[in-house]
Structure 1
Amino acid sequence: MWKLKIIIKELWKSFLFLPGTFIHELTHLIVALLLGAKIKSFTIIPRVKFIDRNHYTVVYGSVEFSPKISAFNFLIGMAPLLMLIPIYLILEHLHFFQYNGTYWELYFDELLAFSNWFYISILLELLSGCLPSTQDIKMSFEGLFSFSGLVMFVIIGFIVLTMYR
């Protein structure tokens, strides 16, 4: 009975975060495909994993893949951060922030207006989906500190240094 209560509670939360979860996992999938990774599975069906009676974890969605180069794990793992671009474009399109000659200003009065609540809900979903999960961060660091990741880091550093000389 206690497992059923936890599952119902977590399924309710997963329903609320479903659009953000879908976009989050979709960005992983798109970047993995662009980098030539072999996709093994894609799911946004939540799973509750019980450790014991008082401890459990929830996996809201996942993409399993095999990258061609381990350094690509970094790019695939941090892919949800790409969603910050549409968030910026939506805010800019709705004139929620503007450059006043010295710095960018965010207009909270316009942002919190009743007529903009629909856009606010979309932005909050995108923001919740763009946060890298613990697994994303772990995978990214494994890719970054792999041999190919370090080689890629040195090459990019060399290119940047030669551009700014």
Structure 2
Amino acid sequence: MGTEIERKFLVIGDDWREKAGPGQPLRQGYLTPKGATSVRIRCAAEEAFLTIKGETHGLARPEFEYEIPVAEAEEMLRTLCIGPPLEKMRYRVEHGGLTWDVDVFSGRHTGLVLAEVELTEAAQHVDLPSWVEAEVTHDPRYRNAALAEGDVPPPGSRIP
């Protein structure tokens, strides 16, 4: 079984861009956004994935990911997912010995910028960069599944 251990933060400013690699456009939607289990379809360039995530316990949750044909993923995004797909540009930024994913949302979530960092264990020390603000790991409003359904926090990078 795969396990995802991650923390999520709101991003302030643009200082992260100095260290960012090239961005990758992502489109994703959810078949089951609410509840303990979520099923996601994600298209990234010439690849597509089906991801199943279980209930979160602390910072960890079970995660299973499978590559699927892009044409089938596009069809699922059009016909099976709840609401229109999330659209974002993902940048990778190295900081403190870890790789951070900075997601710049577009479409109905324009103005929202989130950073996630995956860990090898829940107690792992994380050197926070100057460009992160409040941690939103446990705030359900900032889960991608909630954003896909339209449960949108106010635009910008501040918690209301």
Regarding TM over 0.5, the answer is: no
Flag the structure with higher strand content: 2
TM-score (norm 2): 0.20
Q: Which has the higher contact order (CA 8 A, sep 6+)?
A: 2
Q: Which has the higher helix share?
A: 1
